């Protein structure tokens, strides 16, 4: 185990020149991509679920403590690992997640509209032009009452 903090790019450069070994990482959003990258360099990559690593964290969470916990968890013979997903598997999984999100949003919107209708709220479409005229007329009346008094009208416009 190395106690050296590396960025993503530095980590790839480091493992590109390092001899083949077993690399264990927590499974997260970018771990499958990194696992594929490291496998091209000849390393054996194992991903472990964060829930299996959590019991081995002994103090406050930081990168070094997490790394030690992952090493401790990986050394256990009964530890279960996740196989890294291929690019097509990840794409398919992302498509399913997006579809589930769209279905959930559609259901939420339909249920909300159903609730509005049950509450007696009706949609009354108004033409944009008439709304604009009404708001302009209201603004002129407000300006006239503020400028010329409460019951007076604004002088005629001259164009």
Q: What is the SS3 string spanning 25-62? A: EECCCCHHHHHHHHHHCCCEEEEECHHHHHHHCCCCCC
Contacts of 143 (CB under 8 A, 6+ apart): 154
Residue-range definition of the domain harbouring residue 27: 8-86
Higher pLDDT, 126 or 64: 64
**Residue-wise pLDDT tens digits, 78-106:** 888 988 999 999 999 999 999 999 999 99
Same domain, 80 and 148: no
pLDDT in tens, 5-59: 888 899 899 999 999 999 999 998 889 999 999 999 999 999 998 888 888 888 8
Inform me whether the pLDDT recorded for 125 exceeds 70. no
**Does the residue 93 lie in any domain?**
no
* Residue 16, in any domain of the structure: yes
Q: Which residues pair with 82 in a beta bridge?
A: 47
Task: Note whether residue 3 is domain-resident.
Answer: no
Give the pLDDT confidence score for residue 59 in this predicted structure. Answer: 81
Model pLDDT, residue 5: 85
DSSP 154: P
114 belongs to a structural domain? no
Of 57, 76, 71, nearest to 22 by C-alpha is 71
Q: Answer with the one of 70, 86, 102 that is the final residue of a domain.
A: 86
Integer angstrom CA distances of residue 39 from 13, 44, 147, 159: 13, 6, 77, 77
pLDDT at residue 159, rounded to an integer: 46
Q: Is 120 inside a domain boundary?
A: no
pTM above 0.75, yes or no: no
**What tokens appear for 2 in the block?**
């190395």
The number of beta carbons lying within 10 Å of the beta carbon of residue 46 is: 19
Closest to 26 (Cα-Cα) out of 89, 87, 68:
68
**Most confident by average pLDDT, 48-52, 88-92, 111-115, 153-157:** 88-92
Confidence of residue 128 (pLDDT cuts 50, 70, 90): low
Residue 115 forms part of a structural domain: no
> Residue 22: helix, strand or coil by DSSP?
strand
Facing residues of 22 across strands? 44
Which of the pair, 77 or 122, is modelled with greater confidence? 77
Last residue of a domain, one of 31, 56, 86: 86
Give the residue among 10, 12, 45 at the shortest CA–CA distance from 26. Answer: 45
CA–CA separation, 125 vs 127, rounded Å? 7
């Amino acid at each position: 185990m190395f106690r050296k903090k590396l960025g993503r790019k530095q980590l790839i450069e480091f493992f590109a020149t390092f001899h083949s070994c077993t690399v264990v990482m927590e499974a997260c959003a970018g771990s499958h991509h990194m696992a594929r990258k490291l496998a091209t360099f000849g390393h054996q990559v194992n991903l472990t679920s964060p829930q299996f690593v959590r019991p081995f964290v002994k103090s406050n969470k930081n990168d070094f403590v997490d790394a030690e916990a992952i090493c401790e968890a990986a050394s256990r013979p009964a530890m279960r690992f996740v196989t890294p997903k291929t690019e097509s598997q990840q794409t398919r999984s992302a498509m399913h997640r997006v579809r589930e999100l769209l279905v959930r949003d559609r259901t939420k919107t339909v249920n909300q509209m159903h609730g509005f209708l049950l509450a007696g709220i009706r949609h009354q479409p108004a033409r944009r032009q008439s709304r604009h005229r009404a708001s302009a007329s209201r603004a002129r009346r407000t300006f006239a009452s503020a400028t010329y008094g409460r019951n007076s009208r604004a002088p005629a416009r001259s164009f």
